[in-house]
Chains A and B, each alone.
Chain A
Amino acid sequence: MNFKEIAKRSETGPLTEAKDFLMKSVAANAMRLSKEYDITWDGKTLINLDDDMADRCFQAGRELFINTGVYSMNSSRVVKFSTSEVDDALRFTRSQVAMGQGKDQVCIHHRQVEDARKPFIFCGPFNANVHEDMFVKLNEAFSQEKIVDCLFFPGYLNEVDGQLIRPTSALASRAAILYGQWAREAVRRGGRPGMAIAGHAVMAPGEIACTNEATGLRSTDPRAMVLISELQVDDVTLTRTAYYLAYGCPIYMAFTPLIGGYGGGVPGSSVVAVASFIASIMLGGEIVHMGPQHMKYKQQTNLHSLFLASLANQAVARNSNIIATTSHTTSGRPGSAQYAYEFSALALTAVTSGSNVSGPRPAEPLGNNNVSPLMGKLFAEVAHAAAGMSRDKATPIVEALYAKYKDNLDLETAPKGQPFEELYDLETLTPTLEHQALYDQVKEELVNLGIPLL
């Protein structure tokens, strides 16, 4: 869909109150369609094996989206699309997108369920709070991991120049400029000057100031837009989309279906997730990221999220060319074995269900720099190992992993882990002996569970 149409409809669509959109349009239709299409979950299954249900889930999500459209929050108008517009968009979705430059250029693909092709790896701080003083080093360490295809969301800056950033302030724009410069500098130092950087600096229109071909984020770097759950979009996001589309950046459109939220339980939220995938491409998205979030657990590796991630990804993989990627947020934090069990469980689920991967990150990072490039590497290795694996083979492994952490999902009591500066030697940018030992030990455990990590 041409962006000028989106811009127009967000000013001229039917005027509606947000609550009516969410309750009467999204919630009511999601409930109805998940029943009509017989989308069910027994509360136990981890990975969906029912292809027909995946196909029905796609149809239900498509119908939901045609019913709801997208709500433009600031104008209070519904951006609606006709059935033929939706079907055309689905038919002409590109199934691959290139990013990065020179020898560092990479390409992401649409994947099939149980696809033998390796998933694309978005990996980095994933918007955990990163302190300005650690920004370059932390991202350099991520870029050194050759298995990472694209540096992912270099960090959420709380302050620059020692000053807390107020959103939409001049300081926020300055932060965006520094974000671009520091991220570019980091990959340059890591020996990958053309490495793609998936960027989302600050929540302000001034965010586009991170763009600079020489010193910042480039037209070949994917830019992230985030839809507002469920099926809503705000002016800041539309503004940034307009600019980045015109500038030629791959558009990385993200959404977070909230299980327990307006979509209801797992069946309704899975239908909402499919609708959100479609909304994402209608708004210009070329790579679509789903965060299978649970309202109560506030993270993405709980039982409900695992199943939703499998069902919604399979629906989209089997019935469209959409390039999907799944976000991974955990209760355990880097520096703990639980962190690895959790991201491995979701990665096996998502990758065998046809997704690429983005992550990992603790759902609730503690303080600044609470991420680990070495754990990112392990995450990527697990994701690669899941390529070509059947869902049948993955299921008992995911079960075993889930059993290891299921009683410790509470964010308050989950392992607190350590920040980057305690897990790495900052001079050599290599993991401490202890952190390396944790990696070796967990990797061996994962191999013993049946994950072919060579």
Chain B
Amino acid sequence: MADAERIYEMMKKSIETYDSDAAVAAAELAIAEGLDLLTAVEKGFANPIRELGEAFDRMEVFLPELTLGADAMKAGVAVLEKALNAKGGKLKSKGTVIVGTVEGDIHDIGKSVVATLLQANGYQVHDLGVDIPAPRIIEAAESHNADVIALSALLSTTMLYQRDVIELLKNKGLRDKYFILVGGAPVTQAWADEIGADGFAHDAFEAVLLLDSVKEGWGK
């Protein structure tokens, strides 16, 4: 067990030093040593990245560090996941989330923070980027078999497109397939209610808590 702790420590260190190569090496070592891979994901990668997310929230580290830390985590987890799959196991994902900033809106930072923290907290995230028309968002949700569609809008004018995504989903008869989460500076709970979204969060942390609290029901 001492060995396992040492490897978790290496994984943690790889996140703290934003080192993808070290994360991969630690993951390979975990496999070679025959550690329980699910525990390794949780203890080695998930816990440290959550801590990094909290440090980011306190602005002790900044966006590049958060991004690099998340990249290291992804690299390490990918190695563990491959080994798990080979053994017929499966990495538990809390759910698949499509994230994007709506059409006409190029604000990307808040959306990226939401995507990174969701990923850090065990969600499978597909970040479509910014200025994404409603049909493309729906297409991506369908093709990735998503559970959640998370829509960012930073302009009071582009909030309209959050409404349009929901309307288009309804028209296509797909509305009930997805949990629709909306956010961004001008977005409020009242707006979310008005357009019939399922959830609203002020920030990325709240978004994670919200999805965690409602995810029963769409585990696949």
- A19, A129, A263, A265: the one within 8 Å of B156 (CB): A129
Measured between alpha carbons, how far is A260 from B64 in the docked complex, in Å?
A: 9
Q: In the complex, what residues of B have CB within 8 A of residue A203's CB?
A: 104, 155, 157
Most buried by A among B59, B157, B158, B161: B157
Binds B, one of A3-11, A160-168, A321-329: A160-168
Whether the Cβ atoms of B160 and A166 lie closer than 8 Å is yes
A234 contacts across to B, CB distance below 8 A: 106
Closest A-chain residue to B127, C-beta based?
A19
Q: Is B68 an interface residue (CB 8 A)?
A: yes
Query: For residues 102 through 130 of chain B, which have their beta carbon under 8 Å from a beta carbon of chain A?
Result: 103-106, 109, 129
Decide if B62 touches A167 in the complex (CB within 8 Å). Answer: no
Instruction: Check B174 for interface membership: any CB of A closer than 8 A.
Output: no
Q: Which of B148-199 contact A (CB under 8 A)?
A: 155-158, 160-161, 185
Q: Which residue of B lies closest to A269 (CB)?
A: B62
- Residues of chain A within 8 A of B63, CB atoms compared: 27, 258, 260-262, 264, 295
CB neighbours of A27 from chain B (8 A): 63-64, 67
Which residue in B68, B106, B157 is a CB contact (below 8 Å) of A166?
A: B157
Tally of contact residues, B, Cβ under 8 A: 21
Q: List residues 31-50 of chain B with CB under 8 A from any CB of chain A.
A: none
A265–B56 Cα gap in the complex (Å)? 11
A223 to B109, CA, bound (A): 26
**Do the beta carbons of A23 and B185 come within 8 Å of each other?**
no
How would residues 249 to 284 of chain A score, 1 for a CB under 8 Å from any chain B CB and 0 otherwise?
Answer: 000000000101111110010000000000000000
Q: Is A103 an interface residue (CB 8 A)?
A: no
- A260 and B65 alpha carbons, distance in the complex (Å): 10
- Complex Cα spacing A265 to B62, Å: 7
- Given contacts A158-B156, A166-B104, A296-B59, A31 and B109 within 8 Å (CB-CB): no
The CA-CA distance from A265 to B67 in the complex, in Å, is 15
**What 1/0 mask marks residues of chain A from 198 to 221 whose CB sits below 8 Å from any chain B CB?**
000011100000000000000000
Instruction: Please report the C-alpha to C-alpha distance between residue A98 and residue B106 in the assembled complex, in whole angstroms.
Output: 32
A265 to B68, CA, bound (A): 15
A89 within 8 A of B: no
Which one, B65, B67, B106, B109, contacts A295 given CB within 8 A?
B109
Q: How far is the CA of A262 from the CA of B112 in the complex (A)?
A: 12
A166 to B160, CA, bound (A): 7
Render A293-317 as a binary contact track against B, CB cut-off 8 A, 1 for contact.
0011010000000000000000000
Whether A264 and B59, one on each chain, are in contact in the complex, defined by CB atoms closer than 8 angstroms, is no
Bound: A204/B185 CA distance, A = 21
A contact residues, range: 20 to 34
Partner of A73, one of B68, B105, B106, B157: B106
Residues of A close to B155: CB separation below 8 A: 167, 203
Tell me the nearest residue of chain A to B110, going by C-beta. Answer: A295
Q: How far is the CA of A423 from the CA of B161 in the complex (A)?
A: 34
**Contact of A436 with B by CB under 8 A:** no
- A28 nearest CB neighbor, chain B only: B64
* A75 in contact (CB, < 8 A): no
Which of A158, A168, A261 meets B109, CB within 8 Å?
A261
Q: Quick one: closest A residue to B109, CB to CB?
A: A261
- Least CB distance, B143 to chain A, in whole angstroms: 21
Residues of B within 8 A of A261 (CB): 62-63, 109
Distance (Å) between the CB of B115 and the closest chain A CB?
11
Least CB distance from B72 to A in Å reads 13
Query: A167, A258, A298: which contacts B157 (Cβ < 8 A)?
Result: A167
Beta-carbon nearest neighbor of A411 in chain B: B185
Q: Once bound together, how far apart are the Cα atoms of A405 and B67, in whole Å?
A: 32
A296–chain B nearest beta-carbon distance, Å: 5
Give the complex CA separation of A263 and B109 in angstroms: 13
Q: Indicate if the CB atoms of A229 and B109 lie closer than 8 Å.
A: yes
B63, B105, B109, B185 — most chain A CB neighbours (10 Å): B63
Q: Does A228 make an interface contact (CB < 8 A)?
A: yes
Interface string of B65-77 (1 = CB under 8 A from A): 1011000000000
- B21 CB, nearest partner CB in chain A, Å: 15
**Given known contacts A261-B62, A261-B109, A167 and B158 CB-to-CB distance under 8 angstroms:** yes
CA distance A228 to B131 in the complex (A): 13
Question: What are 8 A-B contacts defined by CB distance under 8 Å?
Answer: A27-B67, A164-B157, A167-B158, A262-B64, A265-B62, A268-B62, A295-B62, A296-B59
A residues touching B (Cβ–Cβ < 8 Å)? Answer: 18-19, 23, 27-28, 31, 73, 129, 156, 158, 164-168, 202-204, 228-229, 234, 258, 260-265, 268, 295-296, 298, 364
Which 9 A-B pairs rank lowest in CB-CB distance, beginning with the nearest? A167-B104, A27-B64, A264-B62, A261-B63, A260-B62, A296-B59, A260-B59, A158-B156, A167-B157
Additional A-B contact list (11), CB under 8 Å, known A73-B106, A167-B105, A296-B57? A23-B64, A27-B63, A27-B67, A31-B64, A164-B157, A166-B157, A261-B63, A261-B109, A262-B63, A264-B62, A296-B59
Residues of B at the A interface (CB closer than 8 Å) are 57, 59, 62-65, 67-68, 103-106, 109, 129, 155-158, 160-161, 185
